[in-house]
Chains A and B, each alone.
Chain A
Amino acid sequence: MTTDSQRRRHMIDLDDVDAEEIEEILTTTESMKEVLSREMKQVPALRGRNVVNMFFEDSTRTRISFELAARALSANVVSFSARGSSVEKGESLIDTVRTLQSLGADVVVMRHGESGAPYLVARHFHGSVINAGDGRHAHPTQALLDLFTIRERLGQIRDIKVVIVGDILHSRVARSDIWGLTRMGANVTLCAPPTLLGQHKYWLHTWPGLSISHDLDAAIKGADVVMALRLQKERMQAGLLPSLREYTRAYGITPERLAQLDERTLIMHPGPINEGVEISPEAATSPNSVIEAQVTNGVAVRMALLYRLAG
Chain B
Amino acid sequence: MKERKQILTADDIRRALVRIAHEIDERNGGLQDVILVGIPRRGVPIAERIASAIADFEGVQVPVGQLDITLYRDDLRMRGTAAQMHKTSIQPDITGKTVVFVDDVLYTGRTVRAALDAIADLGRPSCIQLAVLIDRGHRELPIRADFVGKNVPTARSERVMVHLRECDGADEVLIERTSK
Interface residues of A (CB under 8 A from B): 1-7, 24, 27-28, 30-31, 34-35, 38, 40, 42-45, 73, 307-309, 311
Contacts and interface: CB of A to CB of B under 8 A. Distances in A.
Contacts of B82: 7, 28, 307-309, 311
A276 B137 CA distance: 68
Given A45-B71, A307-B71, A31 B85 contact: yes
B93 to A, nearest CB: 10
B111 to A, nearest CB: 15
Contacts of A307: 71, 82
Given A27-B85, A28-B85, 16 more contacts: A2-B81, A3-B80, A3-B81, A28-B82, A31-B86, A31-B87, A34-B87, A35-B88, A40-B121, A40-B122, A43-B72, A43-B121, A45-B70, A45-B71, A308-B82, A311-B76
A307 B85 CA distance: 10
Closest 8 CB pairs of A and B: A4-B80, A43-B71, A45-B71, A31-B85, A311-B82, A40-B121, A308-B82, A7-B81
Contacts of B72: 43-45
Given A38-B122, A311-B76, A44 B84 contact: no
A2 B68 CA distance: 19
Interface of B: 68, 70-72, 76, 80-82, 84-89, 117-118, 121-122
A304 to B, nearest CB: 9
Given A38-B122, A307-B82, A45 B87 contact: no
A7 B80 contact: yes
A38 to B, nearest CB: 7
Contacts of B121: 38, 40, 42-43
B115 to A, nearest CB: 13
Contacts, number: 54
Q: Is the interface of B mostly helix, strand, loop or mixed?
A: loop
A295 to B, nearest CB: 23
Contacts of A2: 81
Given A34-B89, A311-B76, A1 B84 contact: yes
A224 to B, nearest CB: 26
B71 A27 contact: no
A272 B89 CA distance: 34
5 contacts: A24-B84, A40-B121, A44-B117, A45-B72, A307-B71
Contacts of A311: 71, 76, 82
A1 B79 CA distance: 13
A45 B86 CA distance: 14
Q: Which of B68, B70, B71, B76 has the most CB of A within 10 A?
A: B71
A5 B87 CA distance: 26
Contacts of A30: 87
A130 to B, nearest CB: 14
A121 B109 CA distance: 41
A31 B88 contact: yes
A311 B72 CA distance: 11
Nearest to B89: A34
A73 B85 CA distance: 14
Nearest to A309: B82
B90 to A, nearest CB: 10
A109 to B, nearest CB: 17
